[in-house]
Structure 1
Amino acid sequence: MKNLPAVPRSSFFCLYLLAFFILIVEYRRYTQETSYSNVPAPFPSMLYHNYCVHYDVIEPMFTDFDRIAQILHVSADVLDRRIVQQVANWNGPVSLTVVLRTINQYHCTIEFLKKIRQESLDVAHYLRAHIVFEKAFSSNCTVPSILPSLGSSSASECENHKATIDQIAHYPANLARNVARIFSSSKYIIITDYEHLFSEGFEVKVRSIASRRLAERSQTILAYRIFEIDKKISKLPRNKSDLHKLFKSQHAVVFHSRYYPGAHDITGLEEWFSKNKTTDGLFAKDQKYDRSNWEPQFVSHSRIPFHDERFPFQLRDNTVLRWELCRANYTIDILDDVFMFHRGIKLQKNMESLRIQMQNTAIFNEALKAFKERMDKEYRETKHRCPTPER
């Protein structure tokens, strides 16, 4: 009888252990199904307007100030292995901003960038990447600490995320471009878009021209011709001769010439094709910016003005920089013997683009008004030199 009290004590102890075990299991299940805990940013970070910037999440092995850095931006759900080809094709510094649509894309984006850096020597040599997300996603620019068991769902969030019209319309293209510029460390820049590929030796050739010509006249941009290549073409053009053959067979066209004629036309195309290599690398000098819908792509000094961040996505967000460069009294040189190309020939606007532009119209109108006022205040002497900005 003396041993009876020991039985309930041991039973209570076992029940206590069982309850504790159930509590732990339920807690782990709860944390997997609900929220994340926040941890400090694992990379250097800053608050830029209403966005958090985690910069240099991967860095190049070398930094060369005298080269041309490609300034690039992309959303996390679009980012894929095409970036490896773009870096390898450029064969020089690239500063990339990756914009997150949701905070759930953070970890899979980091893992992808680290992976391609390990697998590609070109990426390891040249790519510098930064991540941007809305401050509203995370207090104090912290990031979610996701349990290892959630790794697979996090990865699928990057790969399979279907962006809404609202998310695309809200994409901060000019902020992303400016962030990539801020953290670039090269003397010269070329501001590009995803999947822009270049003729062989572009950076080496143009760097030599830039070092000479921009020293003569710093307020010059070096414009290059851009084209679209039929997706069926497997052998991509390496030089003007290759490109000319594709152009004559209608497998290459001036960029967006069938979608938005005039935006990327540069005079003298046939002469450019037939002209032998020039001694100074320039097809023409001191050209004037003469139409408001012209969006020449160019190489310049890194000190040029930044993109106006008030302009919304797909409504003159890139053209606006050309407007300001004109008002700032920049002239245009046309490069010879080099070009950019993009796979796929765009034929017409799709409904998605039209909906995005409709949604952003009011923002654009306000941005355009503010831009004109700023131009007249900052560059009074060139008011009548440049075409009037318009949609």
Structure 2
Amino acid sequence: MFRLFCPLISLVVLTLVPMVSCLENGTMAKLKKFVNCEPKNYKPSTSIHRDYWVLENYVMAGHGDIPCYANVTYTTHADYTYLDNVVPLLERWRSPLSLAIYAPGTDFEPTIQSILYLLQCHPGNVLVRELCSFHLYFEVEHLPQVVLPPKMALRKQANCGGPPPYENVVKTDMYRARNSLDYPVNLGRNIARRASLTHYVLASDIELYPSPGLVPAYLHFLGHRVIGIPGQQPDSPLVHVLRIFEVMANVSVPNTKPELQEMLKSGEAVPFHMEICEACHKGPKLEEWINAIVVSKDLNVFNVGHRSEDYNHWEPIFLGTVDDPAYDERLTWEGQRDKMTQAYAMCVLDYQFHILDNAFLVHKPGIKQPGKRKAIFSQIHKTNGLINRKILKELRMKYGSRKGCVI
């Protein structure tokens, strides 16, 4: 969708080079000069973090070391039942993907089988092998029976003649369900982001697919509009927000904003989760963004928002950096409000939320309807108590407070 988009030469000879080499030398020189980052040592590692084993870079991407300033990493989390999203996401992203997978107990083996299927059997396996780094984590109290060294695990042969191991899973039969384990979503988010080899990241959810060509367009945008321009540096930190939408199950994900606008008019697309939590996702000037006439295919800032006043429950997903506030790892998916602590910190730090035009995220096809909350009411109640009694006090001690900033 972007004028600067550089199509990959061939999936057979896929590398990251075509994705960034089309950028002008001046843009790359600016990024190298003004992005404050140091290269990381890219290798597998094992550690205990809090009450969890973390296997970072258990499966490494084929791209190897890349300059920390010269790309953007999509950082996300999942259990193995969501791995059907990996290839559709990569087909649109075409840049590094850092994926943390929760795999306690006997969920570990189907997780490995699912990864092997993606690497060996899936028609998009070249994308996976070249771009995706897999990290695994699980509680110390819920160890798998066997954890092979990465090289040994990757020598195993996947069953390419059968269905993908991540499809048609009865979730109540999973180890996590049988042992009533909450999903540690924020730990996964932090693991994936910490493992990023690049300074810039898109910390998102695996079912949210980006508009194609976003990475080179964003790097071009940074080099020409944001960094290294005398007198135009912001007084407070900023991130670049992507609007989010849903589409019907029987349609294709739109590639451009004009395509998206037509689908919104026809009812085939809707803004994200407006029936579930409008205050969490609407943000400022959503209607104006939707109805604006597209006059340029280039990436630009449509408007600037803050997470305060009328938008103090907004949960934007954004292109940021590895230095943005972390997620509180005590919060789980079942307890909800899992991104609110990070949003509070960013509010107090007076982050500017620059909402991008001509770029967006679309949820995996299928519009979600409001569901019943009784099954997770106890977790929600527990989370609310933890935030009100403890976490909010800690955040105020660490970041301070600011009028209009709430959790």
TM-score normalised by length of structure 2 = 0.74
- Flag the 1:241–1:323 CA change in 2: closer, same or farther, 3 A: same
Equivalences for 1:11-26 in 2 at 5 Å?
none
- CA positional deviation for 1:278: 7.7
Give the superposition deviation at 1:335: 0.6
1:265-316, CA deviations, whole angstroms, 9 ceiling, x for partnerless residues? 1333343232323876111236454333211111112111110112232421
Q: 1:321–1:127: structure 2 CA closer, same or farther, 3 Å change rule?
A: same
Residue 277 of structure 1 is matched in structure 2 by: 296
Q: What residue in structure 1 maps to residue 185 of structure 2?
A: 173
Secondary structure, counterpart of 1:248 in structure 2: helix
Per-residue deviation, 1:91:
0.9
Closer/same/farther in 2, CA of residues 347 and 286 from structure 1, 3 Å limit: closer
Instruction: Give the letter for the 1:259 counterpart.
Output: I
Look up the SS of the partner of 1:79 in the other structure.
Answer: helix
Correspondences of 1:134-153 after superposition (within 5 Å): 134-138=139-143, 143=147
1:225 to 237, 243, 247: 243
Q: Could you say what secondary structure the match of 1:209 adopts? A: helix
- Counterpart contact for 1:198–1:340, Cα < 8 Å: yes
- Opposite residue 174 of structure 1, the aligned amino acid is N
Q: What whole-Å deviation, never above 9, does each CA across 1:75-95 have from its counterpart, x for those lacking one?
A: 13x233321211222111110
C-alpha contact 2:253 2:362 (8 A) present in aligned 1: no
Deviation at 1:169, TM superposition (A): 5.9
Find the aligned partners of 1:249 and 1:50 in 2 and give their Cα distance. Answer: 49
Instruction: For residue 274 of structure 2, give the secondary structure of its aligned residue in structure 1.
Output: coil
Match of residue 55 from structure 1: 56
SS of corresponding position for 1:81: helix
Which deviations, in whole Å up to 9, do the C-alpha atoms of 1:122-141 show, x marking residues without a partner? 111210001111111239x9
User: Compared with structure 1, are the counterparts of its residues 366 and 81 closer, same or farther at alpha carbon in structure 2 (3 Å cutoff)?
Assistant: closer
1:96 correspondence with 2:84: no
The amino acid across from 1:345 in the alignment is I
State the AA in 2 paired with 1:295.
Answer: E
How many angstroms does 1:201 deviate by?
1.2
Q: Please tell me the residue identity of whatever aligns with 1:369.
A: R
Asked if structure 2 preserves the Cα contact closer than 8 Å seen for 1:105 and 1:157, the reply is: no
The answer as to 2:358 corresponding to 1:337 is: yes
1:71 to 68, 75, 83: 75
Q: 1:137 to 1:358 in 2, by over 3 A?
A: closer
Cα deviation for residue 168 of structure 1 reads 6.6
Runs of 4+, deviation exceeding 3 Å: 155-161, 163-169, 214-218, 285-290
Contact 1:199/1:338 (<8 A) preserved:
yes
2:368 counterpart (346, 349, 357) = 346
Matched, 1:264 2:256: no
Q: Distance in 2 between matches of 1:169 and 1:110?
A: 20
For 1:44 and 1:305, the matched residues in 2 are separated by 24
Name the residue aligned to 1:13: none
Q: Write out aligned runs for 1:374-385 (5 A).
A: 374-380=394-400, 383-385=401-403
Name the structure 1 match of 2:321. 301
CA-CA distance at 1:157 after TM superposition:
9.7
> Taking structure 1 as reference, are residues 236 and 138 closer, same or farther at Cα in structure 2, changes over 3 Å only?
closer
Residues 221, 331 of structure 1: 8 Å contact kept: yes
**What secondary structure sits across from 2:270 in the alignment?**
strand
1:34 aligns to what? Answer: none
Q: Does the residue aligned with 2:240 lie in a helix, a strand or coil?
A: strand
C-alpha separation in 2, matches of 1:137 and 1:185:
29
Q: TM-score, normalised by structure 1?
A: 0.77
Kept in 2, the 8 Å contact 1:214–1:220? The answer is no
Specify the code of the residue in structure 2 equivalent to 1:49. Answer: R
- Counterpart CA distance in 2 for 1:97 and 1:306 is 15
* Partner residue of 1:316 out of 337, 340, 352: 337
Which residue of structure 2 lines up, in the alignment, with residue 130 of structure 1? 135
Change (3 A) 1:88 1:112: same
1:324 alignment partner, SS class: helix
Give the CA deviation at 1:227. 0.5
- What is the alpha-carbon distance in structure 2 between the residues aligned to residue 157 and residue 296 of structure 1? 29
Structure 2, gaps ≥5 residues long: 1-43, 150-157
Paired with 1:117 and 1:355, the residues of 2 have a C-alpha distance of 36
Paired residue type of 2:317:
Q
One-letter amino acid matched to 1:232: N
Relative to 1, partners in 2 of residues 1:240 and 1:278: Cα closer, same or farther, differing over 3 Å? closer
Separation in structure 1 between the aligned mates of residue 271 and residue 166 of structure 2, nearest angstrom: 36
Tell me which of 367, 387, 390 is aligned to 1:367: 387
SS of 1:258's equivalent in the other structure is: helix
Distance in 1 separating the partners of 2:248 and 2:166: 31
Question: Which structure has the highest helix share of the two?
Answer: 1
Question: What is the CA distance between 1:327 and its match in structure 2?
Answer: 1.3
Partners of 2:237 and 2:351 within 8 A in 1: yes
The residue identity in structure 2 corresponding to 1:94 is L
How many residues align? The count is: 337
SS of the equivalent of 2:82 reads: coil
- Given that residues 310 and 367 in structure 1 are in contact (C-alpha distance below 8 angstroms), is that contact kept between their aligned partners in structure 2? no
Distance 1:208 1:361, change over 3 A: farther
**1:111 aligns to what?**
113
Is the CA contact 1:73–1:97 (under 8 Å) kept in the aligned structure 2?
Answer: yes
One-letter code of the match for 1:53? V
